[in-house]
Amino acid sequence: MGEFKDIAHLIRLAGVFLLGLIFFLVFRSVTIPKSFGRYGPFRGAALVELSSRPLSFAGHAACENCHPDVAALKANGVHKSLNCESCHGPLAKHADDPGNVKPVLPDVAQLCIRCHSENIAKPAGFPQVNAKEHSGGQACNTCHQPHSPGFDAGGKK
């Protein structure tokens, strides 16, 4: 045992290290949020907060559930690739509570020219008009049915 008689200073050193370790573990558990590292090297709760935001746009599948007639009308026309809320605006509240939240019809005078007014930078094949020359101030839906604005409806080719 003679060779271990001076071990006391090592025990003190080990004690210091142990205290340091305990301090580190306590400090770590207090400062690092519980959800840190749950999904990866970040605060998991932040990801949950962002993924649980409420919706504004319900998505076209929700619309087509209750309005299959409009979906069918639209499916054969040139507007078939348009989603409902592209024109009608965000309607998640209406989809959640169709009885009480009624959507407002979009203003055709503004809605159509948003996409179809002439612009030099639009793709050449895209149908564009100078609204004043084209209809002389008449509302677009006098001739065009917005859900299927084919040219047979009276509109110009």
Contacts with another protein by CB under 8 A lie at: 37-44, 46-57, 59-60, 81-83, 85-87, 89-90, 114-115, 117-123, 126
Angstrom distance (rounded) from CA 102 to CA 93: 9
Do 140 and 146 contact (CB within 8 A), yes or no? yes
Do 148 and 77 contact (CB within 8 A), yes or no? yes
Q: Least distance from C-beta 79 to another protein, angstroms?
A: 8
On the CB side of 80, how many CA atoms lie within 13 Å of its CA? Answer: 7
Q: Least distance from C-beta 135 to another protein, angstroms?
A: 17
- C-beta of 18 vs 133, nearer to another protein: 133
On the CB side of 75, how many CA atoms lie within 13 Å of its CA? Answer: 8
**Kind plus residue range of the DSSP H or E element containing 25:** helix 8-31
Q: Least distance from C-beta 116 to another protein, angstroms?
A: 9
- C-beta of 82 vs 143, nearer to another protein: 82
- C-beta of 14 vs 46, nearer to another protein: 46
- C-beta of 24 vs 39, nearer to another protein: 39
